[in-house]
Amino acid sequence: MSRGLLPSLIVPAFATILAAGAQAAAPCGFFSANPDDQAGPAVRFSAELTPDEESMVTESAGRGRVEFSLDRKSLQLSWKLTYDKLSSAPVSIGLHGPQTAGTEAAKLYDLAQKQTSNVVEGSIILKDADVTYLVHDRYYVNITTRSFPNGEVRGPIKKHAPTC
């Protein structure tokens, strides 16, 4: 699949959001009839990390949030993750997928590239298949700790409606 097909993957994914009452996209210039058009704002995603999202029962006060930005032309996914109240320092912070609700998936990318205290930032270049799964909400973020080696907090990555 060529990078020129990225807009044709993103357009259907956002159609449902727009139909549900989000801001109309026409004035934004986000959507284009040209499938090779890579212009437009970065695509935004986020994940709320809680113990309730773990597939195993997890008693923790831990919480976290990740903000993602996907550059449409380069397919660079950048993030800023914050967390607090974990039982211990993170052992692993990963992007997992593809998965369906209630199941486990393999760790695809290590998100703990640049960590300062409880803030983690980084970026990667995604493959076309990664973008497809990302825009269809098939990825999640999981933080593991010594106390919870399978994961203390986790959250599905959800796309945002475009803003202009």
**Residue 8: what pLDDT?**
52
pTM comes to: 0.77
Residue whose entry in the numeric block shows the structure tokens 């004035």 = 27
The residues with which 74 forms a beta bridge, in sequence order, are none
Residue 28, pLDDT score: 52
**CA–CA separation, 137 and 124 (whole Å):** 18
The Cα–Cα gap between 160 and 22 comes to 10
pLDDT along the chain (164 residues), means of 10: 50 44 44 60 92 89 96 93 95 93 88 87 94 92 95 94 68
Q: Which amino acid is at 75?
A: L
The reported pLDDT for the residue numbered 164 is 57
Other C-beta atoms lying within 10 Å of the C-beta of residue 32: 15
pLDDT value of residue 117: 85
Q: How far apart are CA 96 and CA 93, in angstroms?
A: 10
CA–CA separation, 94 vs 149, rounded Å?
13
- Which residue's entry shows tokens 């993602």? 68
- Alpha carbon 149 to its chain centroid, in Å, reads 22
* Res 147: pLDDT: 94
- Per the CB < 8 A criterion, the answer to whether 77 and 111 are in contact is no
- 3-159: CATH architecture: Sandwich (2.60)
What DSSP designation does 135 have? Answer: H
